[in-house]
Amino acid sequence: MKLSDNKATLSFSDGSPSIEMPVYSGSVGPDVVDIRKLYGQTGMFTYDPGFLSTAACQSTITYIDGDKGELLYRGYPIEQLATKCDYMDTCYLLLNGELPNAQQKKDFDYLVTSHTMVNEQMQYFLRGFRRDAHPMAVLTGLVGGMSAFYHDSTDITNPEHRHIAAIRLIAKMPTLVAMAYKYKIGQPYIYPKNSLNYAGNFLHMMFATPCEEYKVNPVLERALDRIFILHADHEQNASTSTVRLCGSSGTNPFAAIAAGVACLWGPAHGGANEACLNMLEDIQRMGGLAKVGEFMEQVKDKNSGVRLMGFGHRVYKNYDPRAKLMQETCKEVLQEMGLENDPLFKLAMALEKIALEDDYFVSRKLYPNVDFYSGIVQRAIGIPVNLFTGIFALARTSGWIAQLNEMMGDPEYKIGRPRQLFTGPVARTVKAIADR
């Protein structure tokens, strides 16, 4: 970051001396006011619940321009990565800062492929869960559990350990997600098949059985790969910030990523794709297209507590560029599967049309986000709704680990420790129980 000529001055109406704070510029995007010395100089904290105006770190990985609807990984527009690269290119890019050349890609593919199997003992760990457990509960446990299986890559301060942990996490997440699915439906686990590519291997582990040959459909493989690319990173979102905060204590990389998985589960974050599909199914049950208007009235009624899931974003105040790409993929997949007349897709299109024209959404700059379409694509592929967020976690692992590594390599890295404005009772005396 570069020190700007601009400076910020904070003055107080009670006559306390004003203070000057440095301003830093990044390569693009808003400047930041450096408030690190504020407490030392004034005895005051800043107050920003939800981090609406707070940059918690400097980063070189992902840039979002929410007003333009632009998303760049290491400077490359998401549209180019989604059409010219695959998920392995994207992982390499996020981790290393550059796209791989042909040899580097071959080596990286080989490296990831060599780590796709999980320790056999993890099967027994998985068997401890109830079969009706939510896959995100299982995944949080399994990812955290990796720290109990891979002791040679748990020192977060050691770059070599972090590198091995990164490869293991990226390589094994598809295996774990597929194992969680197979366990739930009572089918045997399918071992990874390293002749397949990353997305193809995942489809194979999900849908093959030992009794018959499974042929990967290239359209579905490409669609899944695109889902992975689009979800790989999204700068300092809730789960990524959780991974950074968790990792900042010096815990091991598997534990930090498990914290990210847990955070992603929430319906305001990664759980939105599941919530969105459930919403579409609910409207369908209520009467489908005929009920869209009624549903939208509920969404606009603040007292109803109903939100249009898959719409709105903290950062995008324009069309989410990932939603556009996902809409394209959605059409391809539905066509491939002969589901062009899929009622849920039609419902989604009708909701989108109303929302894009309705003043409630227009005035609040609420546009479809990536989850609006990704659920329909995954459902068409045959992925059960409650596994959607697990797929998101699988894809986001590369971003989480790249962000974690960046934080650990930052000379300004410190344990994350927010402050508070205390509004509770001041010191008081405990009375004897008879007097309370």
Query: Which residues would be at the binding site for ligand ACO (CB under 6 A)?
Result: 268-270, 272, 299, 307-314, 364, 366, 369-371
**165 versus 230: smaller Cβ distance to ligand ACO:** 230
CB of 237: closest distance to ligand ACO in angstroms? 7
**92 versus 373: smaller Cβ distance to ligand ACO:** 373
Q: How far apart are CA 394 and CA 396, in angstroms?
A: 6
Which residue's entry shows tokens 């390569």? 27
Give the strands of the sheet with 32-33, arranged side by side: 2-10, 19-25, 32-33
**205 versus 383: smaller Cβ distance to ligand ACO:** 383
Q: How far apart are CA 239 and CA 262, in angstroms?
A: 8
Residues paired with 64 in a beta bridge = 71
CB of 388: closest distance to ligand ACO in angstroms? 11
Q: What contacts 281, CB < 8 A, 6 or more positions away?
A: 344
Catalytic residue from among 89, 109, 320, 371:
371
**3 versus 268: smaller Cβ distance to ligand ACO:** 268
Residue nearest to ligand ACO (CB): 312
Q: How far apart are CA 126 and CA 141, in angstroms?
A: 9
**88 versus 366: smaller Cβ distance to ligand ACO:** 366
* Tokens of residue 369, six digits: 């986000």
First to last CA, the chain: 56
> Catalytic residue at 371?
yes
Give per-residue burial for 241-267: e unless 16+ CB within 10 Å, then b. Answer: bbbbbbbbeeebbbbbbbbbbbbbbeb
Question: How far, in Å, are 132, 135, 261 from residue 97 at the CA level?
Answer: 41, 32, 24
CB of 278: closest distance to ligand ACO in angstroms? 12
CB of 322: closest distance to ligand ACO in angstroms? 8
Give the DSSP per-residue string, 15-63.
SPPPEEEEEEE-SSS--EE--TTHHHHHS-----GGGSS---S--SSEE
CB of 361: closest distance to ligand ACO in angstroms? 7
Considering just the CA atoms, what is the radius of gyration of the chain in Å?
A: 24
Spatial contact of 376 and 342, defined as CB atoms under 8 Å apart:
yes
Q: How far apart are CA 19 and CA 8, in angstroms?
A: 8
> Catalytic residue at 269?
no
**192 versus 321: smaller Cβ distance to ligand ACO:** 321
CB of 144: closest distance to ligand ACO in angstroms? 22
Catalytic residue from among 233, 269, 313, 320:
313
Catalytic residues: 313, 371
